[in-house]
Chains A and B, each alone.
Chain A
Amino acid sequence: MMNDDKKIIRILEVCGTHTQAIVKSGIRYILPNYVKLLSGPGCPVCVTSESYIDMAMDLLSNEEVILATFGDMLKVKGTFYSLFEKKTKENVVILYSPEDAIVLAQKNPEKKVVFLAVGFETTAPIIATTIKNVQENGPDNLFFLSALKRMEPILRFILEDDRNKINGLICPGHVASVLGSDAFRFITEDFHLPAVVCGFEAEDIKKGVHLLLDQIDGKSPVSFANLYERCVRTTGNKLAKDYMEEVFYIEDGYWRGIGKVPNSALGLDKKYQNLDAKYKFGVKEKIIPKPSACQCGEIILGLKTPYECKQFAVSCTPENPLGPCMISSEGACSAHYKYGKVVF
């Protein structure tokens, strides 16, 4: 491994599915060892704040409530507990699609079902259509607790930090399929960094990395490219964007291990307040200051490796994660914890 920091090339990928594909395909092994692929805050579950989980936990103490959630939310810790530790067979139900929450609510008319709405602009449109559908057609016992996040503000937040050492970006293909590839042009235009939208097969990612490396090495001019044209149009999916616009409004978001990021979240618009679990049950997000021990922010910025974080493998482990890098099964810290230095 090269020790000269200047020669290390850091490429950030900001989609959980890319992170998975990179780890599963063993792509790091075939890249030169001075190329580091960093996993950004692209797993919506991992960046869910402690205060959001605490709110879900508050709801759980209401015997009328059934929480409906994506499976991987169970492992995420609030200030004290994860849903996994507190759930019973009846009060937390794992769903694969938000639309299944409608069926769950219909099957349990005496209960109040709360769907834990997490995700980026990929899941947001389908949650929006579900909310609109519920508003128009019922059932009247289904509510939504939103922790939906937006991709552009967090990317800007990272790139605007002058300390960041990122040399290029792999843009999230799924978000791009909704928002359009143009939604990521700002990376090249505003920050003069090479950026590429690519798909999720190993070959897609390999191609994307090579394209970025050519630009970083100066072999070709810095530019923005969409290599995922089979799914991503420049302007995206108008219908999906319209639904989001209709149902949500933009608010400040809280990111685990990072803190408050302006305009980075989607809340339920006033028109849909009657379906907003925060209003219905009067639960409030109690913002806890960013835990000072967690250094995920620095790791995501490429300023630190997991080994340089004092909490790594000491107070922060996959069983008891402090921040997103350890929560995601393939986040930088979790991956280093599990696989050691053998492959990376």
Chain B
Amino acid sequence: MTNKITLHHGDGGVKTNALINEVFLKYYGANMDVSLSDAFIFDVKTSKLAYTTDSFVVQPLFFRGGDIGKLAVCGTLNDLATAGAKPYYLSASFMIEEGFDIDVLCKIAQSMGDVCKENGVKIVTGDTKVVEKGSVDGLFINTSGIGVVAESFAPSKIEPEDEIIITGTIAEHGTAILLDRYDLEIETNITSDCCALSHLITDLDKVLPYIKLMKDPTRGGVATVLNEIATNVGYNVELIENRIPMNPQIKAINDILGIDPFYLACEGRMILVVKNGFGKRVLQKLRKLRGYENAQSIGRFTNDYQKTVYLKTSIGGKRVMPSLEGQMVPRIC
């Protein structure tokens, strides 16, 4: 096999098959259905399934702490988790730019296979398209996923005084991408928080019934996602700045860049809305899990109806945190 993707790799012929066998089947390994039929067939024995899809167009394709493949699998697993679902099957479709390096594709397929293995989930169907140079930026991936719902969250039952918990430090994925995208020569050990959170549905087990909503603060970050929630439930959200867990390096880097970390994506964190009075129990359970030591109760819903997110600042001030508008770019001032 040549080491560059050509348009023939996407024409459905010999080269396409070679690509499937030598890249995808190889690296997805036991996590791949090998029937190669055009559709995967499976039995349904449960009453409630969750089904989600997402496309991934991240640049750069490899960033500190992950790559587009890891992100594509974790992103869909996490979307299933927000529905209280344990993941079963995934699809993965690739749109590849002509000339793409096959060794690089192997690395990406391998990291997808690795995440699947760690989370006991299989990629059972997929597709590969090769497009002319310049039509996509290297590689786009779409994944979709089916999972079995273990706990049906009830966001409609959210009421004032319900607690808001974040499962870890914020803004790490967004900052890692910024550092790589703008080639900023800042010495730091910051990496993306990109990881699968499916296990929460199993590990939180007994406290799951106290959780009314799970949402991963990806695009637009914690601020935008909380605005979405506030708009939907109709109450205000009050956040306490001092309690929001943030690595001091993240704060410093974003201060330098003039970017507000509350709007930067997390790819391995969840926001939980917990029934008033049960936040402590959920936190205790969370903090015992590896990687969740920084979980924190960061705020609550209040009995006001402007559907607005407020931040109580560290100096005792107060400000509105609106949704993200437009793209965030480093500021001069």
Contacts and interface: CB of A to CB of B under 8 A. Distances in A.
Most buried by A among B257, B314, B322, B329: B329
A343 B333 contact: no
Contacts of A43: 333
B311 to A, nearest CB: 7
A70 B331 contact: yes
A25 B331 contact: no
B18 interface: no
A25 B313 contact: yes
Contacts of B184: 96
A42 B322 CA distance: 23
Given A20-B258, A25-B313, A71 B329 contact: yes
A23 B319 contact: yes
Nearest to B312: A26
Contacts of A89: 137
A203 B313 CA distance: 12
Given A42-B333, A45-B333, A123-B332, A339 B320 contact: yes
B333 A17 contact: yes
Nearest to B255: A200
Given A94-B182, A96-B257, A44 B333 contact: yes
Interface string B303-326: 000101001111111111010011
B155 interface: no
A71 B330 contact: yes
Interface stretch (A27-35, A153-161, A218-226, A238-246): A27-35
A75 B325 CA distance: 12
Interface residues of A, number: 39
Most buried by B among A70, A122, A319: A70
A331 to B, nearest CB: 11
B317 A28 contact: yes
B99 to A, nearest CB: 16
Contact of B317 (A15, A16, A26, A338): A26
A343 B320 contact: yes
A30 B317 contact: yes
Given A96-B257, A339-B322, A27 B315 contact: yes
Contact of A29 (B257, B314, B318): B318
A72 B257 contact: no
A27 B317 contact: yes
A15 B182 contact: no
B180 interface: no
A28 B318 CA distance: 8
B308 to A, nearest CB: 7
A96 B329 CA distance: 10
B244 to A, nearest CB: 13
B333 A26 contact: no
Contact of A96 (B260, B315, B322, B330): B330
B308 A30 contact: no
A116 to B, nearest CB: 10
Contact of B311 (A26, A30, A45, A96): A26
Most buried by A among B318, B330, B331: B331
B318 A16 contact: no
A318 B331 contact: no
Contacts of B313: 24-26, 202
A25 B311 CA distance: 9
B330 A119 contact: no
Contacts of B318: 26, 29, 343
Contacts of A342: 306, 308, 320
B325 A318 contact: yes
- Closest 8 CB pairs between A and B? A26-B317, A71-B329, A16-B333, A26-B319, A26-B313, A70-B332, A29-B318, A71-B330
A29 B310 CA distance: 12
Contacts of A26: 311-313, 315, 317-319
A70 B317 contact: no
A290 interface: no
Interface string B136-153: 010000000000000000
Given A96-B184, A339-B322, A70 B315 contact: no
A132 interface: no
A83 to B, nearest CB: 11
A169 interface: no
A94 B332 contact: no
Contacts of B332: 16, 44-45, 70-73, 118-119, 123
